[in-house]
Amino acid sequence: MTPVTAEEKSKRMIHTAGCIIIGDEVLGGKTVDTNSAYLAKFCFKLGMNLKRIEVIGDDEGEIVEAARRMSDNYDFVVTSGGIGPTHDDITYQSVAKAFELKLVEHQEALDRMKKLSKPHPSQPNFSYDVPSPALEAKKRMIRLPMDTSRDDEGQVLFVDESLWVPVSVVNGNIHILPGVPRLFEKLLEGLKPGLVPRLTDPEGKGVYRILISTPMAESAVATYLTELAGEVESKGVKVGSYPRWGRKRNSVTLVGRDEDYLLSLVEEVEKNVQGKRVEREDEMDQSDDPDE
């Protein structure tokens, strides 16, 4: 099989997505990862099938292996973390190594950093014109993996005019984002206009989810839901059942792209699980637990 080129990956339709969360601080419990949850909701709304989320440490070998595998297996890949100014921020260099690319100091990124990045109060005498360890540290953040055989266009994206931070796109489908949630979220949303035309649903309607709250135990509705799942699978509908520990009500979900068909199932499902359609899982908790 002929390998898919980076250029082809950057233009093909997007069906699947993968996510690599990078950082020893996540694995060590110092930081709670919220970026993968944000990405999951982002993909769901756009109709991308998020197939895998991995959390790995600041380890070059781990990043190299995960980047290569994810790029081969999924259409849209996002990494989070490891692109700061310190010695343990090694995502750029590791992803560059994964695809035998050079790290190139990106002039536009540097210019935007100068314009939009405010000096830290602890560095009142910092200057971009005078060589210093602080300047070298800052430049680590704009030395990007670049395929010099291709045009720069598409390899470095500036998707938010208020931010200097670039989105480095490697091998056509790996999008390297910062781990700081505020930046991660803004840059991810900034990518959306470029992603929508490549979705299987070009209008970006995505996937619909219907949530039904039931007072019945999972074991009591398991047989019915198994039969229902078999009946609706050919229509592209997934049926889910989720226990809510410590609560009197559990949740049943219907997920699919055809909203009208999903809606046509609601009355039947409500009847068979003695439930009610809700917008939030906890919507009926207060009526069940008036003392809480």
pLDDT value at residue 292: 40
Q: Is 242 helix (H, G, I), strand (E, B) or coil?
A: strand
Instruction: Output the CA torsion 229→231→237→241 (10° steps).
Output: -20
**Mean pLDDT, to the nearest integer, of 77-95?**
96
CA distance 231 to 165: 48
Stated as kind and residue range, the H or E segment containing 219 is helix 218-232
Instruction: Output the CA torsion 280→282→286→288 (10° steps).
Output: 110
Question: Residue 125 is encoded by which pair of tokens?
Answer: 């005498």
Q: Is the pLDDT at 120 greater than 80, yes or no?
A: yes
**Mean pLDDT, to the nearest integer, of 13-27?**
96
pLDDT tens per residue, range 196-243? 989 876 555 668 899 999 999 999 999 999 999 999 999 989 999 999
Q: What is the chain's length?
A: 292
Stated as kind and residue range, the H or E segment containing 76 is strand 76-80
Q: Is the pLDDT at 101 greater than 90, yes or no?
A: yes
**Mean pLDDT, to the nearest integer, of 45-62?**
95
Written as one string, the DSSP assignment of 4-51 is PPHHHHTTS-B-EEEEEEE-HHHHTTSS---HHHHHHHHHHHHT-EEE
Q: Is the pLDDT at 289 greater than 60, yes or no?
A: no
pLDDT tens per residue, range 154-175? 999 999 999 999 999 999 999 9
What does each C-alpha distance from 127 to 106, 108, 115, 118, 262 come to in angstroms?
Answer: 18, 18, 13, 11, 59
Q: Which range scores top for mean pLDDT: 55-64, 119-128, 197-206?
A: 55-64
Written as one string, the DSSP assignment of 150-165 is S-STTTEE---TT---
Return the beta strands (E) in 159-278 as ranges: 167-170, 174-177, 208-214, 238-242, 250-256, 276-278
Phi and psi (nearest 5°) for 217? -70, 155
Q: Are strands 238-242 and 143-146 parallel, antiparallel or unpaired?
A: unpaired
pLDDT tens per residue, range 36-53? 999 999 999 898 999 999
Q: Which residues contact 54 (CB under 8 A, 6 or more apart)?
A: 18, 19, 20, 21, 66, 70
**Mean pLDDT, to the nearest integer, of 247-263?**
91
pLDDT value at residue 233: 93
Q: Is the pLDDT at 291 greater than 80, yes or no?
A: no
Question: Residue 163 is encoded by which pair of tokens?
Answer: 């931010």
**Mean pLDDT, to the nearest integer, of 48-63?**
96
Stated as kind and residue range, the H or E segment containing 80 is strand 76-80
pLDDT value at residue 171: 97
CA distance 159 to 173: 16
Q: Is the pLDDT at 192 greater than 70, yes or no?
A: yes
The burial of 95, by beta-carbon neighbours within 10 Å (0-12 exposed, 13-18 middle, 19 or more buried), is given as buried
Q: Which residues contact 208 (CB under 8 A, 6 or more apart)?
A: 255, 256, 257, 258, 259, 262
